[in-house]
Structure 1
Amino acid sequence: MAGSRVVIRIRNTAHLTTGLALAILFVAPLVWTAWSSVSGPRATGGTSGFGDDNYQRLLGYGAGLWTYLANSAVVAVLTVAGTLFVSVLAGYALARFRFPGRNVLFLATLAIMMVPYPTILIPLYVMLGWLGLQNSLPGLAIVLIMFQLPFAMFMMRNSFESVPRELDEAALVDGAGTIRVLWSVLLPAVVPGMVTVGLFAFLASWNEFIAPLIFLSDGDKYTLPTALAAMRSGNFGAIDYGALQAGIVVSAIPCMILFILLQRHYVRGFSSGALKG
């Protein structure tokens, strides 16, 4: 008995030590970035201590920080809304209805995940030109929605399949239609899966760099990652590292806040059968 307790204690200590080491490994760069954004000569006007000069320069860079934040927010909101709308309807259809080619359609959608998306950006650029959506935030959002759909449809299909079919049948017996069943019965049951899909779509769109770089040509339409990359290139090789660190902190704050607020639903989305495959 005493030996088993010692083994359990050693195992728990090892788990705790490993978890603490990994936490420090992941948090240390964030702490260093936040520290660098408010310290140093460029952050304090040449004095010692802490200051906000880096953030002041960031506010006035290019078209202005608020412009880049607004552009990123518009793209992120459109991407999340479009991804959720399409993936919920597609997941509901794939999970609850039987029709010819259902599995082929699902596998074809998943096959998009196997294609490196930079290889299809040029054809997408040409297609957006046909649609008149080049150099526009809605056009960029459409591209990002397409990249998110394979994972989103996979998640929502499995989320709907984890809900007992008896709920659908009971609602249909009571006279509800398919849309009513989806809205009133199934959607409340798959909220964790929807939160997971929405969070993934937001993080991907908020931090995306390659697609905005290709599809946006006007500087006042740049998203925050593209603006930070332009700041990193500098003029004649001169890089304002302090303002760049401040931009990284500003970019990370919305992601951290959303994850903290939604982590309960996010964890449930993975642990309650949403990835039952």
Structure 2
Amino acid sequence: MTGYPTATRWGFPVTGAALAILFLFPLLWSGWASVRTGTGFGLENYDRLFTSDHGIRPYHLVNSVTVSALTVGGTLLVATLGGYAFGRFRFPGRDLLFLLTLAILMVPYATILIALYVLLGWIGLEDSLVGLSLVLIMFQLPFSVFMMRNSFEAVPRELEESAQVDGAGSVGVLLRVLLPAVRPGLVTVALFAFLTSWSEFFAPLILLNSTDRFTATLAVVNMRTASHGSIDYAALEAGVVFMAVPCLLLFAFLQRSYVRGFASGAVKG
């Protein structure tokens, strides 16, 4: 039995290191392959990524940034208001409505993209970045509303009551008291919304038809040489690294708030 504490003490770090290597290996391999050339190492693959006829153009990046910004902004707005309502108010059908919101998680979004494409056509948003953003927002809502509801419920009601005694209404309490208190939850929701919208491939593939509205993800997938339609794998690896860098930097910058958001909000209830 004397060896049990030692095994426990070393088991978790070793397991964590093994999992980290397992998850980092594909990215490290892509980084190595993206700078490997026929004669050594260099940035030729990145040059082809941005100069090839089928590579990334500035408007692809603008489209990706636009979709990401709209998705993050829309998700934060709806999830904050929804989480505030579910977490701080009692009204008839609250629990049922919350369950219906979570039920979206049980629907594989790929199975309803065609129906959503038709719906966007009815409202005049087919083949548009706004329509794509609305679809991405919809599929972010279950997790986001769940996170924000739990984040609001974790805030002591005494803070809210004190603000109400000072004459603040519901909107004032939300803006001045609750939003600063649930900042980790907001960061977590925003980070997930950005990661999803920035790297999403299938929804833009179905919902966007015009090449000038393609996102950078579609441009990376379409990277092909002009010779026999073969795929330029080295340039593709450069595209993978290029698309991953903003996600890695953002996650590293917001890591502390992200972890606090899960600890204070998602774990509750």
Aligned match of 1:30: 27
Pairing 1:19-98 to 2, within 5 Å after superposition = 19-41=16-38, 48-61=39-52, 62=54, 64-98=56-90
Report what 2:169 is aligned to.
177
- TM (norm. structure 2) is 0.94
Q: Secondary structure at the match of 2:41?
A: coil
The answer as to whether partners of 2:55 and 2:223 remain within 8 angstroms in 1 is no
Alignment RMSD: 1.7
**2:29 counterpart of 1:8:** no
Aligned with residue 186 of structure 2, among 185, 189, 194:
194
- Seen in structure 2, the aligned counterparts of structure 1 residues 36 and 82 have a Cα distance that, compared at 3 Å, is same
Q: Against the structure 1 CA distance between its residues 134 and 63, is the aligned structure 2 distance closer, same or farther, given a 3 Å change threshold? A: farther
Question: How much does 1:51 deviate?
Answer: 1.3
Unaligned stretches of 5+ residues in structure 2:
none
Partner of 1:270: 262
- Measure the CA separation in 2 of the matches of 1:66 and 1:90: 36
Deviation, 1:39, is 1.0
User: Structure 1 length normalisation: TM-score?
Assistant: 0.92
Measure how far apart 1:235 and its partner are: 6.2
- Residue identity matched to 1:13: W
Query: Which residue pairs with 2:242 in the alignment?
Result: 250
Q: How many equivalent pairs are there? A: 268
The alpha carbon displacement at 1:18 in A equals 1.5
Change (3 A) 1:155 1:142: same
Q: CA deviation at 1:9?
A: 2.8
- Of 93-102 and 176-185, more deviation after overlay is shown by 93-102
Deviates more, 1:255-264 or 1:119-128: 119-128
- C-alpha contact 1:155 1:275 (8 A) present in aligned 2: no
Matched AA of 2:163: A
Residues 221 and 112 of structure 1: CA distance in aligned 2, closer, same or farther (over 3 Å): same
Q: What runs of 5+ residues in structure 1 fail to find an aligned partner?
A: 42-47
State the alpha-carbon separation in 2 of the partners of residues 232 and 209 from structure 1: 17
User: Highest relative contact order (Cα 8 Å, sep 6+), 1 or 2?
Assistant: 2
Q: CA deviation at 1:113?
A: 0.8
| Separation in 2, partners of 1:129, 1:235 | 37
Which residue does the alignment assign to 1:127?
Answer: 119
CA drift at 1:274: 3.6
Given that residues 162 and 274 in structure 1 are in contact (C-alpha distance below 8 angstroms), is that contact kept between their aligned partners in structure 2?
no
Cα distance per residue 1:28-50 (max 9 Å; x no partner): 21111111111121xxxxxx321
